[in-house]
Structure 1
């Protein structure tokens, strides 16, 4: 069944982690200031403490579809009202929305139309096909993210689309996921050839906050997003499991105030990067951790790069990667040009603590820096964990390669 929408009337739409963990159910969580330990781990004496949801149009819902056939909606204009109606038609029943080529859909609501979301809440399997389109929030609009994906059946795929200027506000909502929030057990998000740009979350996940769901990112870019933790992406299991998979993508120029300038991932999560670059992200504040990535779950990088990220502030840890209690595996990957900058900074390239394990296989750590008074471990700083180097040179880091004295076998 196909349904074309042109000039349809507008549709009326109606955390904190206690220990990189939850203190309120997702459905009832309210705005909060990030708690002391977003990664969900107990700190050892050697590590610094972390600071840290519409209805479719009448026309759309009256259209019946065969059980074997999904609803398809073709949007014929660049109007905000047509976009709202089209997504409202499929959000709860499932289907596909095809956007008009090269449109910019600007959301202008003075009050968020769907709880704290700009677009209808996704509760079924939905695909939105852009063709070089952009969905953006007007500067004069209320603060809202674009999409909430609710478990267990919410499943959203975005193709060839840009989402920009979303803002998940702690004042109007829960502050999670500046562009997209995965809420509850089992939701899923897939990005193909898509960009999430200049989005903001007051708490977690400047572009994406994934709470107990699955995120898949292919040939996509997350750029210049901002949050307290997880400048681009925050991943949490919330008592279940949270996963994020990146393939041939870029996580670049994102910002955090507490930890994880690019990615922050809690205990019990799995993050996998393949042929992906984490570059130019930063975390800035007091005790900043993980300029590129901060994590306490399982992190795997294959043929990937962690380049030019920075943790800036007193007691900075892990300019490239910060790992606590978790497991990190790098294979044929590069850690270079990262900086931990501040008094007593540690681990310009990699900081490992809390019994965490880091294994590098054919993965050089080079030209990273720990800067400031008392700085140590320009390449790798190991504070109570295990680091294994397999054909992985740690060289040309400042002020030294692996701390003084080094606790990394094979590195001096």
Structure 2
């Protein structure tokens, strides 16, 4: 054979070799009977098979988990390590907390290589006492229902009555997502995040959802969730609806009737942003309503929203929220901007929010920017907000502004309507210091006055 034919022959051999196809990975669909053992076996088989798998649960079955996963006892089911869709078809996966001596464990954990799609499924009664995403320091608790360190998509599902509890720091009563996540058309209700320690400065964050990775929430409801901390430990209960520590988008979502409770500590709003977090929290459409931050003889900071990073809010109804601190300090019934916060608020309604601090200090019924943050508000209606403090100080029914320790805090108002708000002083606006400007705003019919101190807000009288 001549030398020039050798490449051609090798090429034919190589072609023959590559022409033999490898077994193709393809999607598999598995019908899972109404049996916990079958569900565990199906997840294990899907993790070990090539390609994506769909597990179709028995319609409206309740899978009652009475013991944790044998390999990872912090979880009720095997860790999701591959691409798996769980199509619940109305089924419930729950920790059977009504049975005797059932240990505490979350329902699902999505590992770093996992990719979970969860649809038409109820996750109930999970109880996290560990935090697989943050193993150091120990003692953290994350994600009572689901902890996601990979990729997770939740649609048309429910998370009910899940808990994350820790003596160090707890976050994500229902969902904790340091991975990449999305939640759509889903109800997250009656979940709890609890700091039960006795040390000073613990925390409980995100009773419904906590995320340290990118997250999108669309057309969902986060309702009736609670964040609580041990009394008189100067600890923080915050984000009873959602706490975001990364890029987050909320669209057309209702966040209502959530409660942060921190006696002798710090209670922050139902929607809270990081301290300070990279990325931006964007809220578009929907409502943040009837939430409560309660800190007896402590500090309540924001009933609806507490922002201490980058945040954009547009076309949102922020109504009926409460910041309460008997014998303490309460501020920002609707919205509170922290010292590192930058908030753009447009085309929204901030109505009927209240700040109450009997024998204490109450400020900013609708909006509060007291510590050097930046607030830009355009075309909003700030109506009927109230600040009261029997035996104490009550200022800024519509807005309270101060420049913070640097004196450089800035509030820019443009074409807003601020009316029918009420406080002890500065029924419309109270400006203590800093920079506050008006441009085409309507400020009238506030009690006992529109702006205070007299002359502090150029363009505002009475």
TM-score range, shorter chain: 0.7 to 0.9
Secondary structure in 1 matching 2:78: coil
1:355 corresponds to: 340
TM-score between the two structures when normalised by the length of structure 2: 0.69
Matches within 5 A, 1:170-209: 170=130, 174-183=140-149, 187-202=150-165, 203-209=170-176
- Partner Cα distance (2:74, 2:372) in 1: 42
Matched, 1:318 2:302: yes
Q: C-alpha distance in 2, partners of 1:134/1:79?
A: 12
Distance 1:92 1:278, change over 3 A: farther
TM-aligned CA distance change 1:244 to 1:290, over 3 Å: farther
Deviation at 1:289, TM superposition (A): 3.7
> Which structure shows the higher strand fraction?
2
2:311 counterpart of 1:328: yes
**1:409/1:87 CA distance change after superposition, 3 Å:** farther
Deviations 1:260-285 (A, max 9, x none): 1111112xx11111111011111101
- Select 1:163's aligned residue among 116, 123, 147: 123
Deviation string, structure 1 residues 351-389 (Cα, Å, up to 9, x no partner):
101231111111111110110121110111102111111
Alpha carbons of structure 1 residues 292 and 112: separation in structure 2 relative to 1, 3 Å: farther
Gap change, CA 1:259 and 1:138, over 3 Å in 2: same
Matches within 5 A, 1:197-346: 197-202=160-165, 203-211=170-178, 213-227=179-193, 228-236=204-212, 242-257=213-228, 258-266=237-245, 269-285=246-262, 286-296=264-274, 297=277, 298-313=280-295, 314-324=298-308, 326-342=309-325, 343-346=328-331
1:132 corresponds in structure 2 to 90
Shift of 1:110: 6.6
CA deviation string 1:148-187 (max 9, x = no partner)? 1111x2110111000000000149974210011123xxx1
Give the length in aligned residue pairs: 334
What's the CA shift for 1:70?
A: 2.2
The SS at the match of 1:345 is strand
Q: Secondary structure, in 3 states, of the residue corresponding to 2:330?
A: coil
State which of 93, 99, 114 in structure 2 corresponds to 1:154.
114
Aligned mates of 1:281, 1:188 — CA distance in 2: 27
Q: Deviations over 1:64-91 (max 9, x none)?
A: x95331232211x311111111111113
SS in 2 for 1:87: helix
Mapped to 2, the partners of 1:254 and 1:142 lie a distance apart of 23
Q: How far, CA to CA, are the matches of 2:317 and 2:23 in structure 1?
A: 51
- List per-residue Cα deviations over 1:385-405 (Å, max 9, x = no partner): 111111002121111111252
Q: Which residue of 2 aligns with 1:73?
A: 30
Q: What is the DSSP-based 3-state SS (H/G/I as helix, E as strand, rest coil) of the residue aligned with 2:141?
A: coil
Give the Å deviation of 1:112.
5.9
Q: Distance in 1 between matches of 2:23 and 2:171?
A: 40
Structure 1 residues 174 and 92: alpha-carbon distance in aligned structure 2, compared to 1, 3 A threshold? farther
CA distance in 2 between partners of 1:408 and 1:192 (Å): 43
Q: In the aligned structure 1, how far is the partner of 2:151 from the partner of 2:436?
A: 39
C-alpha deviation, 1:142, in angstroms: 1.1
- Larger RCO (CA under 8 A, 6+ residues apart): 1
Asked if the contact 2:334/2:350 (under 8 Å) is kept, the reply is: yes
Give the Cα separation in 2 of the matches to 1:253 and 1:368.
Answer: 18
Q: Is the 8 A contact 1:235 1:264 kept in 2?
A: yes
Structure 2 residue aligned with 1:45 = none
Deviations 1:308-366 (A, max 9, x none): 11110021001101111x11111111111000000210101111012311111111111
Provide the secondary structure at the position in 2 that maps to 1:119.
coil
1:378 is matched with which residue?
365
State the alpha-carbon separation in 1 of the partners of residues 282 and 143 from structure 2: 23
Q: For residues 225 and 265 of structure 2, what CA distance do their matches in structure 1 show?
A: 18
CA contact (8 A) 1:275 1:304 kept: yes
**Does residue 390 of the first structure (1) align with residue 378 of the second (2)?**
yes
Distance 1:395 1:289 in 2: 24
* 8 Å contact kept, 2:74–2:130: no
Question: TM-score, structure 1 length as denominator?
Answer: 0.77
Indicate if the aligned counterparts of 1:112 and 1:142 stay in contact, CA closer than 8 A: no
Return the alpha-carbon distance in structure 1 between the equivalents of residues 216 and 267 of structure 2. 22
Q: Which residues of structure 2 form unaligned runs of 5+?
A: 1-21, 132-137, 194-203, 229-236, 388-396, 401-425, 444-450, 452-462
Q: Is the 8 A contact 1:230 1:256 kept in 2?
A: yes
